[in-house]
Structure 1
Amino acid sequence: MVTLRRVGAAALLAGLLTCLPSVALAQTPEEDPRATQHDGNAVAKDCPQLWPGSTAVQLTDSDPSKQYIDITSVPDGVEVVGVVVKGGDGYNTYDAPDLGALPWLDLYSPLNNGGNIPDVSHWFACGVKDTTTTTTTTTSSGTTTTTAPGETTTDVTPTTDVPTSPEVTTTTAPGAPGEDDDLADTGANPGWLLLTGLLLLAGGGLALFSPKVRAAFARR
C-alpha cells in the first residue's frame, strides 16, 4: 500500500515537472517582432522626425485595453505610415508596411525592467493626407484640358495680323510756263479775220492807183 502511494506521488510529481516549463514559457512575454523598441518618450508632434513628411492623424482603438492597441480602420484620404505605442520607460514604433493589411492587432509597448508588458500610457499614428486633385481648364476656343496638380495648359489660337499698305496719293503740279509748246484750243476760228484783212488791203491798193485819188493828192 505504501509502495503504491509512493509510485503515484512520483508519477504526479513527474507530470508537474513536465508541464511547468511549458507553462512558464507560455507566460513569458517577448518583444513584438513587428516593432522597433526605443527608450524615453514620444508624442504626436514628433511625427515629422519619426517619419519625415508625416503629421499626426486621428485613429481609434477598436478594442481598448490596458496593454494592447487594435486598429481596424483608417479614415479616407489618409495614408498611415506608422504607429507609436508608449508604456513604461520606452515606446515602440511600427512601420505600416511591417504591419501588413488591416486590421493591426495587439500593438504594445516595449517590455519593462521586469520583463512584462506595461500598460499603455498613450499612443498615436502618423500619416500623410492625400492632396491629389484634378484641375480642369476651359479655353476660349472651347477646348477642355485636364492636367496634374500645379500644372495649367491653355490652347491658344494664333492670329496673324496682315499689315495694310498705306494709301498713296499722287499730286501733279501744274506745268511751268514754256514747258508746253501747244497753244490752248479756245474754240475760235480766225479765218474770217484774215479774209477781211485781205479785202481791205486790196481795196486800199485800188484806191491808190485811181486817177481821181492821185489828182486829189496832187492838188494838195
Structure 2
Amino acid sequence: MRRRTFRGAVAIMALTTAALIGTAGSALACVPGDDRAEGTVGNATKCSDIGLGKAIDVSDLLEVTGGTNKDQYLTVKSVPKGVTVAAIVVKGGNEYNTYRPGKKGLPATPPWEKLHAPMVGKNFQNVPAISHWFACGSKTETPPESTVTTKPTKPTETTKPSAPASSETTVAPTSTTGAAVVPAGNESGTGGGLANTGFDNMWLVWIAALLILGGGGLLALLKFRRKASE
C-alpha cells in the first residue's frame, strides 16, 4: 500500500511539473515583436478579458486602416472628440498583443501605426494575419449646442445737440413802398401851389417879390429923372 501511494504521488508530481513546464513554455513562446505591446497567449474578445471590465468597446468610433483578417497591421488614424482609448487588442493565431496609449513608448494620442499580433513561425520572424481586434475606453457625451438666439440690443439713442441761440435780433425788412404823393393845395398852410419838399420855403417867395418890386421902383425912378433932366 505504501509503495502504491508513493508511486501515485510521484505520478501526480510528474504531471503537475509537465503542466507547469508547458505553461511556462507557452508563455515564453509568445513574442510580441513590438516593444510597444504586451504579448499574451490565449484569446480575448471583450474589455473584461484584459482587466478593463468598466470600459466600453469604442472600436467603431475610431478611424482606422487595415485590421481585417487579410491584413497584418492595424493603424489608428484618429479618435473623435470625447472618446478616450485605454487599450487596443490585436489578435492573431493563439496570442494577442495589448497596446496601451501613453505606455511602453506608444504615444498618448494617435496616430498609432502598424499595430499587430505576436510573432509566429520559425524563430518568431513572421507577423501573422489579424484574426480580430478591438479597442476599450470611454466616451463623454457632448451637450447639444444651444439654439437660443440672443436678440441684438438696440443702439442707445444719442441726443442731438440743440442749435445755438442766435444773438442777433432779426430785423423786419423795411418796406420798399414809395413815399405818398402830397396832393396839390395848401398842405403846409402857405397857400402856394408848390409841392411840399419837407421844409417851409415861403420866405424865399417874399424876398423874390420884394426884389422885383424894388427893381421895378428903381427903374421907374431912373426913368423919371431922365425925363426931368431933359
Question: What TM-score, normalized to structure 2?
Answer: 0.41
Larger radius of gyration: 2
